[in-house]
Structure formats: C-alpha cells, structure tokens
Amino acid sequence: MRIFYSEKAIKQLQELPYSTQKRIAEKMLFYASQENPLAFAKHLIDYREGGFRFRIGDHRATFDVEKNTIYILTIKKRDKAYD
C-alpha cells in the first residue's frame, strides 16, 4: 500500500521531536508493507477525522483507506487525539 500524508498531518509531524518523527515514519512504512494493514488498526466510531487509527507509542494517526492508499489525516498525542 501507498501512504499519503495530509497537509495537516505533515504539519503535526513536523512539530514533533525528530526521534518521534522517525519512529512514526518507520511504523507507517511497516504498516503499509503488511498484507492487511487494517489488522493493526482500530475502527473509529466517530468519523470526524478518519475511519481508523494506528497506535504509535503515545501518538495516534487517524486515517482513511481508499483502494491501495492509506491517507493519514492527523497525528496527535494520545491525550489530545479524541478531543
């Protein structure tokens, strides 16, 4: 699968420390390389910012999937992700 980051997600990622950015990027590549990346995701009930989320340490990446592409919509710290 391919990964596409929204402008909002890119901005949120850039605000994080480099080590966290690297960890998130590596984890996203891992998820995208899996046969079924949704097996690692949680389906969200509230669709305001995507239908699914990945857990990456203390951060959450909300996303949607269309055909063969994962669209990362937001990347937030866990305590802020569901406000």
The domains of the chain are located at 2-81
The 10s digit of each residue's pLDDT in 8-48 is: 999 999 999 999 999 999 999 999 999 999 999 998 887 67
What DSSP state is assigned to residue 37?
A: G
46 φ/ψ angles, rounded to the nearest 5 degrees: -90, 115
Q: Whole-prediction pTM value?
A: 0.85
Angle between helices 7-14 and 18-33 (to 10 degrees): 140
Q: Check residue 80 and give its pLDDT.
A: 72
Statement: residue 1 has pLDDT above 90: no
In CATH, 2-81 is 2.10.109.10: no
Q: CA geometry: angle at 60 spanning 75 and 45, to 5°?
A: 110
In contact, 72 and 60? CB cutoff 8 Å:
no
